[in-house]
C-alpha cells in the first residue's frame, strides 16, 4: 500500500491553468477507473471534486477536470481563482480492496 506520488506544491496566477499529477502503478491508478480527487481548505475536512477519473459531482465548477494516462492521473484547474488555494489529494482504489492516497499538493494562487 505505497502512497501515490504527487508534487508537494504548484502555483499559478489568477486566470491561468495548473495541472497536478498523481502517479501510481498498474495495481491502482493504472488498473482501475476509480481515481478521485479531494480539495482541502485550511482547517476544513476534504471535499470530493473528481471521481471515476473524470467525473465531477454536482456543484463542482467545470474549471476542475480530471484525466489519466497509463499510471498517472492528473487534475487540471483552469481559470485559477484565489479561492482555489488549498491542498489537493488524489486517491485510487487498489487491487487489495483498499484505498491509497497521494501525499497531497499545496496549490498557491500568486
Partner 1 sequence: EEHLVESGGGLVQPGGSLRLSCAASGFSFSNYWMNWVRQAPGKGLMWISVTSRDGRSTYYADSVKGRFTVSRDNAKNTLYLQMDSLRADDTGVYYCVRGMSSSWFTLDYWGQGTLVTVSS
Binding site for partner 1 (CB under 8 A): 1, 3, 34, 36, 38, 45-48, 51-52, 57, 89, 91, 93, 97-104
Residue 13 beta carbon to partner 1: minimum distance, rounded to whole angstroms: 26
Residue 45 beta carbon to partner 1: minimum distance, rounded to whole angstroms: 4
- Give whichever of 64 and 89 is closer to partner 1, judged by the CB atom: 89
> Distance between CA 104 and CA 9 in Å, rounded?
8
Question: What's 9's DSSP letter?
Answer: E
Contact between 95 and 29 under an 8 Å Cβ cutoff? The reply is: no
Residue 24 beta carbon to partner 1: minimum distance, rounded to whole angstroms: 14
Residues in a beta bridge with 39: 47, 88
- Give whichever of 15 and 95 is closer to partner 1, judged by the CB atom: 95
- Pairing of the two strands 105-109 and 9-12: parallel
For 87, the grid coordinates are 491542498
- Give whichever of 45 and 62 is closer to partner 1, judged by the CB atom: 45
Amino acid at each position: 500500500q505505497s502512497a501515490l506520488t504527487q508534487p508537494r506544491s504548484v502555483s499559478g496566477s489568477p486566470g491561468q491553468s495548473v495541472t497536478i499529477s498523481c502517479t501510481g502503478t498498474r495495481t491502482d491508478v493504472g488498473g482501475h477507473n476509480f481515481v478521485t480527487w479531494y480539495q482541502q481548505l485550511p482547517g476544513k475536512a476534504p471535499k470530493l471534486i473528481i471521481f471515476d477519473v473524470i467525473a465531477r459531482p454536482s456543484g463542482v465548477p467545470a474549471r476542475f477536470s480530471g484525466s489519466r494516462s497509463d499510471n498517472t492521473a492528473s487534475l487540471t484547474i483552469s481559470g485559477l481563482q484565489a479561492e482555489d488555494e488549498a491542498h489537493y489529494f488524489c486517491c485510487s482504489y487498489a487491487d487489495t480492496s483498499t484505498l491509497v492516497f497521494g501525499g497531497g499538493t499545496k496549490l498557491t494562487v500568486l
